Chain A
Amino acid sequence: MSISSPQAGGNRRQSSKAVAGGKPGTGASARSGASTKAGAAKTGTAKTGAAGKTDAPAETGTPAKAAAAKSGAKSGATPAGTGPKARTASGGRPGTRTGGSGSRPGGGNRPPIAPVKVNNGRHWGPIILFTIVGLVAAGIVGFGVYEVQRNNRGWQDKADSIKGIVDYRKTEKSLLQPAQHAYGKINYPQSPPVGGVHNPNWERCQGDVYPDQIPNENAVHALEHGSVWITYNPSLPKDQVDKLASKVRGNDFMLMSPYPGLDKPISLQAWGFQLKLDDASDPRIDQFIRDLRVNASMEPQATCGQDSGNYVTKTGPDPTNLGQSAAPTPSGM
């Protein structure tokens, strides 16, 4: 068998160095491993890999331990089978064709080395252990992946799961289209409105608790920016109003106002969503705010504040038309 490798001298040191490096897959390792005698590579690998010793080929005759034999079989197969074409051996797989240990390419500078007895029996202990550990690991990882996925349900799914909520985005697709601006009074199909054409100026929604009714047309624009609008029937007892106000004050993307004629004591609005309730201590209020505040924005990162020229905090039923100096004109919508 010719030794085609450049390291034909079979420098022991190089061989063991590469192996000790712990990267049998690299070209250097395969090449130098092959350049020494395959037998030496085989046993030597097992030895040096484990002990890090290099110049003690005699030791290889000692009974190989199970682990050493195993790794020896694995790495030994490669150079043995591919000695003549050492360079291709980096992957180690071609070696499987020859069946390995039988052929011992001679040459090299050292005397032949007695083959190690490889224990061919199945090592059930480690196999079972690794299988169990592997399955447990897979189970943990799989469970984690499942939980994360479940937690990552979209905000819309979470909102839809709130009992009693109406998701108009599902029934009125126009709510998902770009909404136009219009001055003047606008009629809305829902009461209070949840979206649609609206005034160019938005009602400020930086935790504003308005003591009186605010214009639908400006409030809907605040919904478009992602705010949650809490409305209540003016007959709602004061302690309930205070409870609602505590959820609004100082919180960006929140606003609140009484709504004359409201058919329920309380109604919550986000763009496309509505939830009508009887009691200010209903836990669904917090759920609604948590799922929809900011998330329901039709204009991500749009603000609830205003500059001095467009400040809208006025109350009353008629829309504030800052951009239009003339009196409000009916838009026909």
Chain B
Amino acid sequence: MFSGIFATPQRRAITIGALVAVFALLIGYGAGWLTPSLRAPGDNSPEAGFARDMSTHHAQAVTMAMTAYPKATDPEVRQLAYDIALTQQGQIGIMQTWLKDWHLEPTGSRPKMAWMPDGAQELSPDGLMPGMATDAQLQQLDAAKGKQVDILFCQLMLRHHLGGIHMIDELLPLSHNKEVRDLAQTMKNNQQGEVVQFQNLLSQLGAQPLNS
């Protein structure tokens, strides 16, 4: 019953053409389905490393901000703490969703900061990323009362932001992923703005930024 479709050169041409078209569509569909996976950042890419490490970096900022928020005395400090906690928690969600979309685990197979050149040297002896507070400093903030909360939070968060900005500056030349670059750039812009706020607040509070 199918012999009719080859009866004439025209029919044959149309049949072959149709088959080729169907085949091409199938290949195209498969390739299209595959392409996002091939184009997505890989397990050892700067983008994946940034998403993982910046999630951890942000998480400590959220913890410090949530600690300071109910206790700080200066309304501007409390507003900043609220803003930082919610903004950075939201950004963690974005970065974790990237990893899911790229079919990568939240945990990398390489050490922290290995995605950036000489990244391992950037870690503190405690294995902390740039700008992160030590356990002792977190305890200090936790135990602080009154105006001391405002000062300590501004000091720790200022240094935390500078560390985060440094990591972003390492990422930007390494990544061509627009989505990642865009978020990183806005993170940097926001944190730079807040750095100025912290500097002003510290001078209002009669305190100095931390030395290191």
Contact = CB atoms under 8 A, between A and B. Distances in A.
Given A96-B11, A145-B34, A295-B105, A303 B27 contact: no
Most buried by A among B13, B60, B108: B13
Given A141-B34, A251-B112, A286-B109, A305 B56 contact: no
Most buried by A among B9, B62, B71, B105: B9
Contact of B109 (A120, A290, A309): A290
B106 interface: yes
Nearest to A73: B13
A219 B55 CA distance: 22
Contacts of A95: 10
A323 interface: no
A289 interface: yes
A61 interface: no
Contacts, number: 127
B8 A311 contact: no
Contacts of A93: 14
B14 A74 contact: yes
Nearest to B129: A250
Contacts of A137: 27
B71 A155 contact: no
A148 B34 contact: yes
A329 interface: no
B56 A311 contact: no
Given A148-B37, A250-B132, A304-B59, A96 B14 contact: yes
A303 B105 contact: no
A246 interface: yes
A138 B27 CA distance: 6
Given A74-B17, A155-B105, A308-B70, A141 B27 contact: yes
Nearest to A135: B23
B96 interface: yes
Interface in A299-331: 301, 303-309, 311, 313
Nearest to A152: B103
B156 to A, nearest CB: 14
Given A301-B93, A303-B59, A307-B67, A250 B123 contact: yes
Contacts of A77: 10, 13-14
Interface residues of A, number: 51
Contacts of B139: 313
B66 interface: yes
B112 A308 contact: no
Contact of B34 (A73, A118, A144): A144
A101 interface: yes
B92 interface: yes
Nearest to A155: B105
Interface in A277-300: 286, 289-291, 293-295
27 contacts: A70-B13, A74-B14, A96-B10, A96-B11, A100-B10, A134-B27, A142-B30, A144-B37, A145-B33, A145-B34, A148-B37, A151-B103, A207-B127, A246-B127, A249-B127, A250-B56, A250-B112, A250-B124, A250-B129, A252-B56, A290-B107, A290-B108, A304-B59, A307-B69, A308-B66, A309-B70, A311-B142
